[in-house]
Amino acid sequence: MLNGKKIVLGVCGSIAAYKAATLVRLLVKAGAEVQVIMTADAVSFITPLTLSTLSKKPVLVNYFEPTTGVWNNHVELGLWADMFLIAPASANTLAKMANGQCDNLLTAAYLSAKCPVYFAPAMDLDMWRHPATLNNVQRLQSYGNILIQPGTGELASGLHGEGRMAEPEEIVDLLISAVNDTFPLKGKKIMVTAGPTHEAIDPVRFIGNHSSGKMGFAIAEELAKQGATVTLISGPSAQAVNHPGITRIDVTSAAEMLDACLTNFETVDACVMSAAVADYTPVEVATQKIKKQTDSFNIELKKTTDILRTLGERKSPGQVLIGFALETQNEEQNAVDKLRKKNLDLIILNSLNDAGAGFALDTNKITMIDKDLVYTTFDIKSKTEVAADICRELIKLMA
């Protein structure tokens, strides 16, 4: 649990501030000592009285408290904390944090904190998607701060989409898994690829495949449950992320997936590459819709970069690389060739000849082949159970 952990909870001006009451209650119940710092705007959404009653500590808002004559020392607050959590984190506070601005007690205490910092954004869909916000989030991650991914659903504006603050229960689970040594992947960063890629032909058409992303998303969820911080790079997929320990990066093409993988690869301990990446992409993408004219029509294609092979060439000692092989013939030989060619530690073979294996299904049937050519064959299982098997094997490889 969070016994004895000192947590600064920063609450910003967002409608999701109402969730701060449940959050404080759950943190206290888990054994944490909670010091709430609110921004001036947060006070309009939920009263300090509510949060101070639940946290059993006066809530701090200003550097100087005129009623008591007390000066709140931001440096002491920053150093006192074992964990610093900002939830809800508004776009404005994220921007200040990313730029080192400290015009209020919360952002000044943040700048003084030496402990792990978690932030749970809450804002409207368009604010969340704005390049300025995305840049700020990336910058905070580059400082080592941990994003608690917002959820998708109905937003206070009436719009539907991403931007909802993660639920208090999920946030507390994440903090517990971060401090709890019994989670085998605690402190590990893992990158997962999932889904298909779409290679544009013209503004309305693309070359794609039937991958649904179900396997990769199930793997990401399982790794996060085991305590890992997961970066999930997904091609177009209708799957949703549930665990707040997963940061989702959406891409469309093989080239975009390559870029996202290269950006993240150096800092991760392991990769599980389950995406069905296009092997070929059109040489030219028409800028206008191609009109139907001739009876036959050819599209010239060029090879995409093999992302997994590129990572295999760059792999540093200690990094674990797991790939997939979806085969229809010579399954085992093809999988072993890929294992060798791509410098993998493990390859997960699924054969389309096995009933219950393949795209879009909720089940899969796999054989794992490791570097020493040890084969482990599993029964047909749900993709969640298959993800747990893969996760167990990864934990062994990382030990």
Report the interface residues with ligand CTP, using CB under 6 A: 193, 254, 273, 275, 277, 279, 304, 306-308, 323-326, 338
Smallest distance from ligand CTP to CB 227, Å: 24
By beta-carbon proximity to ligand CTP, the closer residue of 43 and 397 is: 397
Residues 6+ apart with CB under 8 A from 385: none
Alpha-carbon dihedral 276, 247, 144, 268, rounded to 10 degrees: -20
By beta-carbon proximity to ligand CTP, the closer residue of 163 and 195 is: 195
By beta-carbon proximity to ligand CTP, the closer residue of 351 and 363 is: 351
Smallest distance from ligand CTP to CB 327, Å: 7
Smallest distance from ligand CTP to CB 335, Å: 8
- Rg over CA atoms, the chain: 24
Alpha helices in 81-236 (DSSP H): 91-99, 105-112, 125-129, 131-142, 168-179, 214-225
In terms of C-beta density within 10 A (0-12 exposed, 13-18 middle, 19 or more buried), how is residue 164 classed?
buried
**DSSP character for 271?**
E
CB 223 within 8 A of CB 192: yes
Q: Which is catalytic among the residues 62, 73, 209, 242?
A: 209
Smallest distance from ligand CTP to CB 221, Å: 18
**How far is 389 from 215, CA to CA, in rounded Å?**
12
Bridge partners (DSSP) listed for residue 234: 194, 250
Residues 6+ apart with CB under 8 A from 272: 190, 191, 192, 193, 216, 219, 223, 322, 390, 394
Query: Among 194, 191, 166, which residue's Cα sits nearest to residue 250?
Result: 194
By beta-carbon proximity to ligand CTP, the closer residue of 112 and 281 is: 281
Check if 73 is active-site. Answer: no
Smallest distance from ligand CTP to CB 28, Å: 44
By beta-carbon proximity to ligand CTP, the closer residue of 111 and 255 is: 255
Which residues are catalytically annotated? 209
